[in-house]
Amino acid sequence: MTANNDPRLAKMADGSKNSGGVDYIGMPYGLEDPAINGADIASITSNIINDGKEHGGFLYTYAQVCFAMAEAHLRGWTGLAGDAQTWYELGIASSHQQWGVASADATAYLASVEPVSMKTMAMEKWVALWLQGYESWAEWRRLDYPNDISAPAAAISGSGIPVRHGYGAQTISNNKANYDAAVAKQGPDTQDTKLWWDTK
């Protein structure tokens, strides 16, 4: 977001304290002991934390609807209103509006984005899903973007970014026959085994 001068960034996070609020530095995810000074990393903005009315929780935003329509067009679905580029731009604009970005800044950002493609749509959707971590994880697995992220070298478990949940111990002990049948079809019961819809 920094490289793209995305005005949503300042609405989503505060710059690190040690940089005087200028630098947006993330913390590696999935480390048992990140050994990072909290003042060196960016954090969620205080208005998001304190304002339960404006940023409480989203079930399905208009931006998500727009990106879904753009994707449908990109996949060649027929009989739909508009076109991929229009829905893509509506999704971006809606996300900026959702995060309270000034209309002039949103317009300037929109003029700078690349034309719609599966990659650009997926990346914008991923950004728009800020604070919807589970949903953005599902979209990353489904669309394969962003494709330049990786698990930390000292991750707690697994060999990569998890692509599924493992079965619980109760499932294994109380339903062994079905557990064994599922594992035989899907592959090992690890966080690295892709689900059936993620193998296409």
Looking at the structure, tell me whether residues 75 and 121 fall in a common domain: yes
pLDDT value of residue 25: 79
User: What phi and psi, each to the nearest 5 degrees, are found at residue 178?
Assistant: -70, -35
The whole-number pLDDT of residue 200 equals 62
Q: Are residues 119 and 69 in the same domain?
A: yes
> How many domains does the chain divide into?
3
Residue 55 is assigned to a structural domain of this protein: no
Tell me: do 132 and 181 sit in the same domain: no
Cα dihedral across residues 161, 115, 62, 13: positive or negative: positive
Q: Is residue 157 part of a domain?
A: no
Predicted pLDDT at 37: 77
- Is 17 in the same domain as 71? no
pLDDT of amino acid 53: 59
Residue 67 resides in a domain: yes
Helix, strand, coil percent content, the chain, rounded in steps of 5: 50, 5, 50
Domain extent at residue 191: 169-198
Q: Which residues of the chain have pLDDT under 70?
A: 30-34, 46-56, 155-158, 200
pLDDT in tens, 43-55: 777 666 655 555 5
Predicted local confidence at residue 18, as pLDDT: 80
The alpha carbon of 39 is separated from its chain's Cα centroid by a whole number of angstroms, namely 24
Say what the pLDDT of residue 50 is.
59
Q: What is the pLDDT of residue 33?
A: 67
The confidence score (pLDDT) of residue 55 equals 57
pLDDT value of position 36 = 76
Per-residue pLDDT, 54: 59
